[in-house]
Amino acid sequence: MHQILIIGGGAIGMLTARELSMAGYRVAIFDRLKTGRESSWAGGGIISPLYPWRYADSVTALACWGQEHYRELAEQLSLDTGIDPEWTQSGLLVLSPEEEETARQWAARSGSRIEILDREGIASREPAIDNTPDSGIWLPDVAQVRNPRLVKALHKDLAQRGVEIHEETTVERLLIENGRICGIETDEGTYRSDKVLICAGAWTKQLLGELGTTMEITPVRGQMILFKAEPGVINRITLENDRYIIPRRDGHILFGSTLEHEGFDKRTTEEAGEELYRIATSRLPALKSYSIEKQWAGLRPGSPAGIPYIGPHPDVAGLFVNSGHFRNGVVLGPASSRLITDIMLEREPILPPAPYALNAPREEIDA
């Protein structure tokens, strides 16, 4: 019998499996596709919430913990697996002058570094931007990872640690007896365990539906486009009107993303691609010299106020959840994975777990 079964092999599931394995537990992961190929692969890899001051302090706490540990995580994965997640401190430039006071207040509460830049300061940070506004918000400590490389490194790391990875395996139902989890039933067989963790992203609510849980996790489609440019065309992550530009080390530039409530439809649309291209090239005219190399879509696990569900199921002993990270799975992943591991193993938690409980209230804050 495996001591712990994890449903979902995205970044959240794999990071949690790594934590549990490092604590000495035998772990098996089950994923309906290949590990890391859903929202973990499709996102941008920014190690910060977009407009972090718009989120509850509980989200900020997870993000800050992850930001403090991400470079070490990426370097260790690179050393152990030979796959470099490309942790890069690009900084985040937010072109939203109307939010400067809110950003100042958030920075004072969280201890985060920000600077308010004038037009010249913005141009010095990112000269490629056209129509520079009068002021902007600069977060110099924000970094990024190349998320496809991150999940590849995690997969290899888990395999080296002896974690059993079941890909293209559908979990058909949870096995519950007398109010306690006792395993899962999959299309390849039954697996018994007295501890099961659900990290299934947008599909989490489907798995828990038969239990009548009140968790609100819904799929939110996000489409992005990718330019193949030259290194140095743009050097900073830049955010304006909910659209972000992310430069990679090799010259690739990501631009996204949409927010669409279309159920589990993951198709890309010509309309979204044209809109993203128009906005990207209007902000960065230099991109007109480069073609779109790729367009794709992913399904984020949306949750109320973007606060993830991290903790035990209130009605089924031995059943746990780590899901609902919305747009912030990459940045919140290390902290949420450590926190759920602390909870499952009854260790002193890195953060107070109450705000993330499955039945905790989740309310939007005033931005």
Its pTM stands at 0.95
Element of type H or E holding 27: strand 27-30
Same domain, 338 and 229: no
Give a yes or no: residue 321 inside a domain: yes
Last residue of a domain, one of 302, 329, 345: 302
Same domain, 296 and 309: no
Distance in angstroms (rounded) separating the CA atoms of residues 37 and 78: 20
Same domain, 48 and 177: yes
First to last CA, the chain: 48
**Rounded (5°) CA angle 336-337-338:** 90
* Average pLDDT estimate for 67-90: 98
Give 184-225 as a 3 state SS string.
Answer: EEECCEEEECCCEEECCHHHHHHHHHHHCCCCCCEEEEEEEE
What CATH number should be reported for the domain holding residue 171?
A: 3.50.50.60
State how far the alpha carbon of 353 is from the alpha carbons of 102, 218, 257, 324, 336, in Å. Answer: 26, 22, 31, 15, 10
Same domain, 158 and 298: no
Asked if the model's pLDDT at residue 99 lies above 50, the reply is: yes
Give a yes or no: residue 11 inside a domain: yes
| Residues 335/351, Cβ–Cβ less than 8 Å | yes
Last residue of a domain, one of 287, 302, 317: 302
Percent of the chain with pLDDT over 90: 92
SS3 category, 150? helix
How does DSSP assign 68-99, residue by residue?
A: HHHHHHHHHHHHHHS-----B---EEE--GGG
Which tens digit of pLDDT belongs to each residue from 263-306?
A: 999 999 999 999 999 999 999 999 999 999 999 999 999 999 99
Same domain, 119 and 102: yes
| Residues 81/153, Cβ–Cβ less than 8 Å | yes
Residue 1 confidence class, pLDDT cut points 50, 70, 90: low
Same domain, 45 and 135: no
> What pLDDT score does 209 carry?
78
Same domain, 138 and 222: yes
Which tens digit of pLDDT belongs to each residue from 184-223?
A: 999 999 999 999 999 999 999 889 877 767 789 999 999 9
Give a yes or no: residue 139 inside a domain: yes
Phi and psi at 332, nearest 5°, equal -85, -15
| Residues 365/47, Cβ–Cβ less than 8 Å | no
* Average pLDDT estimate for 53-74: 97
Element of type H or E holding 151: helix 147-161
What CATH number should be reported for the domain holding residue 295?
A: 3.30.9.10
* Average pLDDT estimate for 319-327: 96
> What pLDDT score does 366 carry?
44
Residue range(s) defining the domain that contains residue 235: 79-143+218-302
Give a yes or no: residue 16 inside a domain: yes
Residue 142 confidence class, pLDDT cut points 50, 70, 90: very high
Tokens read off for 253: 């530039």
| CA-wise closest residue to 218 among 173, 260, 174 | 260
The neighbouring-strand residues paired with 255 are 225, 245
Asked if the model's pLDDT at residue 364 lies above 70, the reply is: no
* Average pLDDT estimate for 256-261: 94
> What pLDDT score does 95 carry?
95
> What pLDDT score does 329 carry?
95
Same domain, 233 and 139: yes
Give a yes or no: residue 364 inside a domain: no
Last residue of a domain, one of 258, 279, 302: 302
Same domain, 229 and 281: yes
* Average pLDDT estimate for 160-185: 96
Distance in angstroms (rounded) separating the CA atoms of residues 137 and 289: 28
Same domain, 189 and 224: no
Residue 355 confidence class, pLDDT cut points 50, 70, 90: very high
Domains in the chain, number: 2
Give a yes or no: residue 113 inside a domain: yes
Distance in angstroms (rounded) separating the CA atoms of residues 133 and 141: 22
> What pLDDT score does 365 carry?
53
Q: Mean of the per-residue pLDDT values for the chain?
A: 94
Same domain, 196 and 209: yes
Same domain, 62 and 162: yes
Q: Under 8 Å CB-to-CB from 22, ≥6 apart: which residues?
A: 161
Give a yes or no: residue 152 inside a domain: yes
Using left for φ > 0, alpha for ψ between -120 and 50, and beta otherwise, residue 324 falls in left
